[in-house]
Amino acid sequence: MNSCLRARGGATAAHRARFTALWSLLLTGLVLALAPGAQAAPAPVPSPTPPESAAGAPFGVQAGLYGLTTLTGGHFGYALKAGARIEDSAVIYNESDEARTFHVYGADVTNAAGGGLAPAQEGQKMAAVGAWLKLDSEATVTVRPKSRATVRFSLAVPDGTPPGSYLGSLVTALRTPAVSGSVNTETRIARLVELTVPGTADLQVSLTELEHRPAGGGEEFTVTVRNTGNVLYTFAGTLNITGGSSARTVPLTPTGIYVIPGGSATLTGRVADLPALGRRAVTATVPGGGAKTVDSNTVRLSFFPWLIAVLTVGGLLALGLILFITRKRRRAWLRRRAEERVALRALRRKLRAENPPADDPHAR
């Protein structure tokens, strides 16, 4: 076929000398299409393109079959029986202008303290997917500038692994050497490895005691959600407030997060616009699978305007004290006034007796 293509290429050169460029291109295509033994070339397998995360960044990582499977976001998802093994790969893209050395390792995934998921650090003891994921080569990979390298790995599920969902990650880390006494910096990209071991799904959720404290003119509530089942759990919780004229709900945050089997997440909700006088009952609720819900204990709050009451009572006491003090003084003043009037009347009688009027018949 190669000799045929070379012969046709010579004929095309002869045609190029006789005809215009447009006719040459058309005839070349026609000759190649009709050449004896010519066959349609198989459609090329699309190669992975650099991940969006690599744009403007030093590197990026994608699943080896990105775009050819149902994988999304460059992550890995498998359904394997206990004792089964699978092989796969990841592609590391070096978008910088110099060679980069990366550290690649498998890691377990845990729930982060502030919500969400976080891969374990390199060197920590792995107990699940991080221990089952093995690289087919060294953990250190050097990639030339503007190039990519494929890292192959295998995932073997141990015999006797209980059914359920297991979450791990394939971590690619780029460590920047310290400059002028500065500390080392490390940039990591973790691609999730979501493993499902077939079996009976068991969604079990429990809540801790609902706690509260004053915050920002209202009340802040916290509760911890624990996944005691064997499947990944994603949920959105609420606070239900009853009492007063109508019931209302307040969302718990963070929302829509994963809680892995055996993991937990702490949720927070803030209730504002509380009454100055009255009662409220607050309960945390999360979905428990299907149409079920899981409720926490109920916190009952009583509101009374203690400051206003104390000020009112204080004011009344002060007014009573003032009245009491002024009443004693008024009584003393009235007593003095009465004594003065009695003395004045006595003085007038004495004066009249000593100096009777001239026309008084008794004075003669």
Share the mean pLDDT of the chain: 78
- pTM for this model (two decimals): 0.62
- Does position 151 have pLDDT exceeding 70, yes or no? yes
| pLDDT above 90 coverage of the chain, percent | 38
pLDDT band at 334 (very low <50, low <70, confident <90, very high): confident
CATH fold, domain 52-197, is Immunoglobulin-like (2.60.40)
Domain locations along the chain: 2-34, 52-197, 205-303, 312-364
List Cβ neighbours of 332 (8 Å cut-off, separation of 6 or more).
none
Q: What's domain 205-303's architecture?
A: Sandwich (2.60)
- Does position 45 have pLDDT exceeding 90, yes or no? no
Do the beta carbons of residue 172 and residue 188 sit within 8 Å?
yes
Give residue 68's pLDDT. 63
Give residue 89's pLDDT. 92
Give residue 3's pLDDT. 32
- Does position 15 have pLDDT exceeding 70, yes or no? no
- The more confidently predicted of residues 333 and 42 is 333
- Does position 262 have pLDDT exceeding 80, yes or no? yes
pLDDT band at 298 (very low <50, low <70, confident <90, very high): very high
Full DSSP string of 277-289: SEEEEEEEEEEEE
Do the beta carbons of residue 59 and residue 96 sit within 8 Å?
yes
Beta strands in 158-237 (DSSP E): 164-176, 185-197, 205-207, 211-215, 218-227, 233-235
What Å distances lie between residue 296 and 3, 97, 233, 303, CA to CA?
80, 55, 18, 22
Question: What backbone phi and psi angles, to 5 degrees, belong to 98?
Answer: -140, 160
What Å distances lie between residue 192 and 150, 167, 249, CA to CA?
17, 7, 34
- Does position 121 have pLDDT exceeding 70, yes or no? yes
Give residue 69's pLDDT. 62
pLDDT band at 277 (very low <50, low <70, confident <90, very high): confident
| End-to-end Cα distance, the chain | 176
Please determine whether the domains at 52-197 and 205-303 fall in the same fold group of CATH. Answer: yes
- The more confidently predicted of residues 101 and 115 is 101
CA-closest candidate to residue 48, choices 70, 61, 65: 65
- Does position 130 have pLDDT exceeding 50, yes or no? yes
Q: For 156-205, what is each residue's pLDDT tens digit?
A: 999 999 999 999 999 999 877 655 566 677 888 999 999 999 999 888 99
Give residue 363's pLDDT. 52
Do the beta carbons of residue 48 and residue 89 sit within 8 Å?
no
Do the beta carbons of residue 240 and residue 298 sit within 8 Å?
no
Q: Give me the residues paired with residue 59 across strands.
A: 94
Mean pLDDT along residues 71-77? 75
Give residue 22's pLDDT. 32
